[in-house]
Amino acid sequence: MYKQAMVIGKFYPPHAGHAHLIATAAAQSRKVAVLVLGSRFESITIDERVRWLAAEFDDVHGVEIFGMRNDCPEDYHSDEIWTAQNELMRLALKSHGVTSIDAVFSSEEYGSRLAAAFGAEHVPVDPSRRAYPISGTMCREDLGTSWPNIIASARQELATRIIVVGAESTGTTTLANALTEHYRPRFPRIADVPEYGRQFTYEKFHRLRSETPDAGIEDMVWTAEDFSLIGARQNAMENAAADACPLVIADTDALATTLWERYYLGEGSFGSFHAADVLPRRDLYLITDHEGVDFEDDGWREGEHRRAEMTEWFKETLTEEGHSWILVTGDHDRRVKTAVETIDLILAQRSGFTSPPWASRTVLAPSVVAPSVLERASA
């Protein structure tokens, strides 16, 4: 066992190959210092990368993740740049109480030179990338295809989340379904995220009818616990979709559940508020306007006279919470067009990983890439 090992990298973004590298170091070392070197020229912060890796290795003893700003150019042929890089890493380690290391675990060609600079042994880990044929370059250039290989905590925060909300019979489900199908060719793994509250209503009514055969919808009694379960389940469905695909389009969310709880139980009920308090980052809410949409009574709806009030509640709440939202109006085609125009721009922004001009690129040989780890991940 090595006493103190080191792993360095940009982890931009952290993926399965990185996780394998750190896990290998942890299995052979009492302590592992994982140094995340992030640049001001990159579009994911150091703190985000550190947080994601820390979550991934939270239960692995001896692994410490910490970050260091590194705006120094890369030049593997320059002794001066090597000195500058090594000093930055030495001070990063020193600032966390690490004054010596005896092993450098790396998959990169520079690993042996880096280890020599620290008076440590170089331990190469899958340098051919055959065990995990993935790289940060591949992730940045094709986020959708590489998505299963990005570590789970990073997928949750990197996913673009579009939430469709609105009053009863205003076309929320129609719009959410249309957007999901529009993006499915680009994102084959995109998942449906339906309104769980409707399914819960069916199940609750079925239980009521099994006890009271003549009961009607108006006889259903809602509780704060009901909305707590709905909110938690809605979150779980949304997060499962983010785990599967970098684009999530959800037909409502836990924040909307708090408004439906208010609708049915009044201002003093807070069963769903915990679920709303732990919402992941949102990119955009789409509020479906009630104007110009006929109310369709499917036997489960009862709020035609309150649609305007509910629409206003959504506008007020999203504004108070500081979320980005758009009121989508007009016919179905116009609503889809409005949504797609904005979502396309958000996707371009969210998947546009910036890098300094000197950043190196890792390109795997075709013989390494296939059989793909992506195929194994989906098997």
User: pLDDT tens, 2-11?
Assistant: 999 999 999 9
Task: Establish whether the linkage from the previous residue to 124 is cis, with ω within 30° of 0.
Answer: no
- What is the pLDDT, as a whole number, of residue 299? 65
Average pLDDT, integer, range 167-173: 93
Taking alpha carbons only, the member of 11, 30, 22, 20 closest to residue 101 is 30
- What is the pLDDT, as a whole number, of residue 296? 81
SS3 at position 121: strand
Average pLDDT, integer, range 189-195: 97
49 vs 296, higher pLDDT: 49
What is the per-residue pLDDT across 4-32, written as a single tens digit (0 to 9) for each?
999 999 999 999 999 999 999 999 999 99
Residue-number span of the structural domain to which 169 is assigned: 159-329
Over pLDDT 90: what percentage of the chain? Answer: 88
Domain-embedded: residue 351: no
Please check the confidence at residue 119 and state whether its pLDDT lies above 80.
yes
CA 30 to chain CA centroid, Å, is 31
Domain-embedded: residue 200: yes
Are 146 and 174 part of one and the same domain? no
CB distance 26 to 62 below 8 Å: yes
What is the per-residue pLDDT across 56-66, written as a single tens digit (0 to 9) for each?
999 999 999 99
**pTM summary value:** 0.90
- Edge-first strand order for the sheet with 103-106 is 63-69, 29-38, 2-9, 103-106, 121-124
Band the pLDDT of 217: cuts 50, 70, 90.
Answer: confident
Are 124 and 163 part of one and the same domain? no
SS3 at position 294: coil
Are 114 and 23 part of one and the same domain? yes
Domain with residue 13: its CATH number is 3.40.50.620
Domain-embedded: residue 40: yes
Are 209 and 143 part of one and the same domain? no
Domain-embedded: residue 349: no
Beta strand 160-166 with 103-106: parallel, antiparallel or unpaired?
unpaired
Band the pLDDT of 376: cuts 50, 70, 90.
Answer: very low
- What is the pLDDT, as a whole number, of residue 362? 73
Residues 291-312: b if buried by 16+ CB within 10 A, e if exposed: eebeeeeeeeeeeeeebeebbe
Are 163 and 300 part of one and the same domain? yes
**What is the chain's mean pLDDT, rounded?**
93
**Sign of torsion over alpha carbons 245, 356, 113, 65:** negative
Domain-embedded: residue 346: no
How many independent structural domains does the chain possess?
2
Are 107 and 197 part of one and the same domain? no
SS3 at position 66: strand
DSSP letter, residue 142: -
Average pLDDT, integer, range 328-334: 96
Please check the confidence at residue 372 and state whether its pLDDT lies above 70.
no
Are 85 and 127 part of one and the same domain? yes
- What is the pLDDT, as a whole number, of residue 295? 81
Q: Which two tokens stand for residue 13?
A: 């973004």
Domain-embedded: residue 118: yes
Amino acid letter, residue 119: G
Residues 240-252: b if buried by 16+ CB within 10 A, e if exposed: ebbbbbbbbbbbb
What is the per-residue pLDDT across 342-361, written as a single tens digit (0 to 9) for each?
999 999 999 889 999 888 77
Are 88 and 40 part of one and the same domain? yes
- What is the pLDDT, as a whole number, of residue 377? 39
Are 77 and 166 part of one and the same domain? no
Helix ranges restricted to H, 279-354: 307-320, 332-350
Taking alpha carbons only, the member of 321, 289, 326, 325 closest to residue 308 is 289
Residue 360 φ/ψ, nearest 5 degrees: -80, 155
Q: Which residues contact 203 (CB under 8 A, 6 or more apart)?
A: none
